[in-house]
Structure 1
């Protein structure tokens, strides 16, 4: 069963990516393929996996598999950090998921804490590694301080941006008016707010 904070987080990220692409003039329905509820199987047929969300171009260069996504999202609430790591290893293996990038989002079940990690293989023969990390946590405040502080001001971020290069998603360079997708500070705080509201962690400020 998918828990509310899990589904909400997946939806916030999905909607943000679609919105950013639309603002660039990209026709999402025509250019971006969503791998919803699709099971991806390894080349040897021994492993398979279904992502929380995954995307790729409708039209892919012939040397790349059009049946597999380029960017994958995995959200963990009941899942452990090790489970998310193993998911990333599957998706980035060229003989398994064959993706270019995996974003994992680990939501702590007991405290207002979220960690987003971007996993990539910097070169075809290199090892899979985390290339960006964003931690979102709630500041330690008294009840009175919380009552007089906005929700966004209660948050602290280790980094205020996480980037999905457009080339990584579409396997093509941006054209005029198109840029990389950047999860900026506002988006990251909105993500945390929506998840923590579902978990009942937040005290509404003034």
Structure 2
């Protein structure tokens, strides 16, 4: 992938100056909130449609949602929270729901969470990073649920690293979600990984997103920052074999890669200072096993 000339869905996302989460809400079909029961029915209907391949649109947007209703819907005991992730703007009262279509997506979340834990444990820093799963986090005027997030133990539960999973057909909206985590004022997030899963083909695309100086130039104190994808990995099947291809952007250079590298200080919240401490590395073999678990859950293997 050429990071200087990204695919259109990312080029347009990265060039927008609008609040990325407001842009996400504007691009999805909106419907007015009436009752909690009606909203839940809409979400359940969308989940069934996703499961039956009647749509690939995971996002629903509701307007004029009272704050108390959002609190009830996002409660872990709510049935809505079992299959959807909610984003809520406390000023505009807009609620964005990302509906999870099937168990393969939950498996992707849990499997990636385990890979991160194993990397942290191997460096003996697993107690320095707290896994918060889909805990609701406040960023700017938004209350957001990540698919999975991690916070340095020293930051009082303020996440530094977030992961989002979605259908490949929702790649642009996942990109807006990543930008929302990174660019929204007061957000503590430094690093986002998005995972796009093809619904009917063994193909998964991972993007690493970070705040960088615009144009990937030399970073100065006055340089404007924007969220951009700084690594791309494609997991696919060819002749009954799993293939990993990708590129990473570092220090002004694009290099081919078959592993996912994640900055130690952006995950742990401090620079490495022990011999074992280094950037997290999800190896090519680990990525292959990760993909094959998901494809098996999708009945594609």
TM range (shorter): 0.7 to 0.9
Counterpart of 1:70?
A: 160
Counterpart of 2:224?
A: 125
Structure 1 residues 117-196: aligned runs within 5 Å: 117-123=207-213, 125-139=224-238, 141=239, 146=240, 154-159=241-246, 160-174=258-272, 175-196=274-295
Give the RMSD, CA atoms, in angstroms: 1.8
Count, aligned residues = 181
- Tell whether the 8 Å contact from 2:134 to 2:149 is kept in structure 1 after alignment: no
Report the 3-state secondary structure (helix = DSSP H, G, I; strand = E; otherwise coil) of the residue aligned with 1:110: coil
Counterpart of 1:16?
A: 115
- Tell whether the 8 Å contact from 2:131 to 2:149 is kept in structure 1 after alignment: yes
Report the 3-state secondary structure (helix = DSSP H, G, I; strand = E; otherwise coil) of the residue aligned with 1:25: coil
Report the 3-state secondary structure (helix = DSSP H, G, I; strand = E; otherwise coil) of the residue aligned with 2:120: helix
1:93 and 2:183 equivalent? yes
Structure 1, residues 134-174: CA drift from partner, whole Å, max 9, x if none? 001111x3xxxx4xxxxxxx112113111111111122111
Report the 3-state secondary structure (helix = DSSP H, G, I; strand = E; otherwise coil) of the residue aligned with 1:128: strand
Structure 1 or 2: larger strand share?
2
Give the distance between the partners of 2:168 and 2:193, measured in 1 at CA.
17
- Tell whether the 8 Å contact from 1:92 to 1:101 is kept in structure 2 after alignment: yes
Structure 1 gaps, min length 5: 61-65, 147-153
Structure 2 gaps, min length 5: 1-82, 84-99, 214-222, 247-257
**How far off its partner does 1:67 sit?**
4.1
TM-score of the superposition, structure 2-length normalised? 0.57
Asked which structure has the greater CA Rg, the reply is 2
Counterpart of 2:143?
A: 48
**How far off its partner does 1:13 sit?**
0.9
